[in-house]
């Protein structure tokens, strides 16, 4: 069988993840090595996913990417690094009966056309770079029959597309390790907990503004690293303590502690943004009203029933437990006059890797 004139294609989808312990700041901009470890939950929610199709052909003259229907620059150093590393680890493509279809050395003659769609706002602080780059890396790796040379290698490649993307390759509670090796091979993402005991956790997304933010996460954290003393203190002194408490809370199925640390982390991250010079404002007045609402709600109910977390954008991610969901959603409707976009989000169900559907 000759594949000389065939188009090879693969389609994958990848979920977003939301950091409970935040990543903000790099110690190495080139390799995307973080200042501190971070911990996230992969959101197994249909409403928040990237779907990417990669087509490979020897007849394409260059790699091209279309994002949400518009051609997008693929010449960035990050995407090129991912493609180069994926090509280096490419394997032989064989048919089901073992016949060699494409030898691994042949892949260097192939170029990619990549079509990607996010079914939620892009660059609005809902982790589109996480699902987007995870899907980018995973789908190319599937097409190229990529073979890891060490466990977690694929996460190190996704990390170089966008830091938070390494965590979207795994399901459940995911830890992105800081690492110490200068080449970054030990800064990998690992599943810390399957989340099987957290099936009652629910996610509520409140879209405050779906427009592209003014300051990208990459640019924002660069200025923070240069100017914020609070960020230095946080990454050295605060994160290790909070991470260890969070690990225990997850193990002990302790929602109150998980919720409390999640809110503290979100607040300290946004405090670092304010401590950045010039300051970065990702939260709007409505975001702050949501924060106030959560604290009032918990005080009224006499416990910690709901938590908020905000990434680099104004949109809120609320965490609660199944038994409280209906009451919370009703209160949100009463207060803000709209139903949340997503309330089905059973988080932490294991999502080993994005689904893949290889068509040759």
Where on the chain is the footprint of ligand DP6 (CB under 6 A)?
19, 22-24, 32, 38, 127, 129, 162-164, 217-218, 311-312
Nearer Cβ to ligand ADP, position 269 or 305?
269
Nearer Cβ to ligand ADP, position 76 or 256?
76
Cα–Cα nearest to 269, from 302, 206, 335, 221: 221
Tell me the C-alpha to C-alpha distance, in Å, between residue 22 and each of 36, 136, 238, 272: 9, 23, 11, 11
Return the one option of Co ion, ligand ADP, ligand DP6, none that residue 67 interacts with (CB less than 5 to 8 A, by type).
ligand ADP
Q: Which residue has the tokens 């427009």?
A: 211
Contact 131, 119 (CB under 8 A): no
* Angle at which helices 217-227 and 255-275 cross, to 10°: 70
Among 13, 42, 53, 128, binds ligand ADP (CB under 6 A): 128
Return the one option of ligand ADP, Co ion, ligand DP6, none that residue 134 interacts with (CB less than 5 to 8 A, by type).
none
Nearer Cβ to ligand ADP, position 142 or 217?
217
Kindly state whether residue 217 participates in binding Co ion, applying the rule CB under 5 A: yes
Kindly state whether residue 217 participates in binding ligand ADP, applying the rule CB under 6 A: yes
Return the one option of Co ion, ligand ADP, ligand DP6, none that residue 23 interacts with (CB less than 5 to 8 A, by type).
ligand DP6
Contact 138, 4 (CB under 8 A): no
Binding mask 77-116 for ligand ADP (x = CB under 6 A): ---------------------------------------x
How many other C-beta atoms lie within 10 A of the C-beta of residue 18?
Answer: 26
Binding mask 101-140 for Co ion (x = CB under 5 A): ----------------------------x-----------
Largest CA-CA distance found in the chain, in angstroms, rounded: 69
Kindly state whether residue 312 participates in binding ligand ADP, applying the rule CB under 6 A: yes
Kindly state whether residue 127 participates in binding ligand ADP, applying the rule CB under 6 A: yes
Kindly state whether residue 118 participates in binding ligand ADP, applying the rule CB under 6 A: yes
Return the one option of ligand ADP, ligand DP6, Co ion, none that residue 349 interacts with (CB less than 5 to 8 A, by type).
none
3-state secondary structure of 16: coil
CB of 158 to ligand DP6, least distance (A): 10
Contact 322, 200 (CB under 8 A): yes
How many other C-beta atoms lie within 10 A of the C-beta of residue 77?
Answer: 10
The string of DSSP letters for 188-255 reads: -EEEEE--GGGTTEEEEEE-S--SPPSS-HHHHHHHHHHH-HHHHHIIIIIHHHHHHHHHHHHHTT-H
Return the one option of ligand ADP, ligand DP6, Co ion, none that residue 160 interacts with (CB less than 5 to 8 A, by type).
none
End-to-end CA distance of the chain: 12
Which positions lie near Co ion, rule CB under 5 A?
Answer: 129, 217
């Amino acid at each position: 069988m000759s594949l000389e004139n065939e188009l090879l294609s693969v389609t994958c989808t990848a979920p977003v993840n939301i950091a409970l312990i935040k990543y903000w700041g790099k110690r190495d901009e080139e390799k995307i090595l973080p200042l501190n470890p971070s911990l996230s939950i992969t959101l197994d929610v249909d409403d928040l996913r990237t779907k990417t199709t990669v087509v490979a052909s020897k007849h394409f003259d260059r790699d091209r990417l279309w994002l949400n229907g518009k051609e997008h620059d693929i010449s960035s150093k990050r995407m090129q690094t991912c493609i180069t590393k994926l090509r280096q680890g490419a394997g032989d493509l064989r048919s089901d009966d073992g016949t060699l279809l494409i030898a691994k050395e042949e892949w260097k003659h192939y170029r990619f056309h990549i079509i990607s769609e996010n079914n939620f706002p892009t660059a609005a602080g809902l982790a589109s770079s996480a699902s987007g780059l995870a899907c980018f890396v995973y789908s190319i790796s599937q097409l190229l029959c990529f073979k890891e040379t060490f466990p977690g290698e694929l996460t190190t490649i996704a990390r170089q597309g966008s830091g938070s993307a390494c965590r979207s390759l795994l399901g459940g509670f995911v830890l992105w390790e800081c690492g110490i090796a200068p080449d970054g091979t030990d800064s990998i993402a690992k599943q810390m907990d399957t989340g099987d005991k957290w099936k009652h956790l629910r996610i509520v997304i409140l879209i405050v503004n779906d427009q592209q933010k003014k300051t990208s996460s990459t640019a924002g954290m660069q200025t923070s690293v240069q100017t914020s003393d609070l960020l230095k203190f946080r990454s050295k002194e605060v994160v290790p303590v909070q991470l260890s408490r969070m690990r225990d809370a997850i193990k002990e199925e302790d929602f109150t502690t998980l919720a409390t640390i999640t809110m503290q982390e979100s607040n300290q991250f946004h405090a670092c943004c304010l401590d950045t010079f010039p300051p970065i404002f990702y939260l709007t007045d409505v975001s702050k009203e949501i924060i106030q609402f959560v604290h009032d709600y918990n005080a009224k109910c006499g416990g910690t029933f709901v938590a908020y977390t905000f990434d680099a954008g104004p949109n809120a991610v609320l965490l609660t437990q199944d038994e409280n969901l209906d009451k919370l959603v009703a209160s949100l409707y009463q207060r803000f006059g709209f139903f949340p976009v997503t309330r089905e989000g059973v988080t932490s169900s294991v999502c080993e890797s994005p689904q893949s559907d290889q068509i040759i």
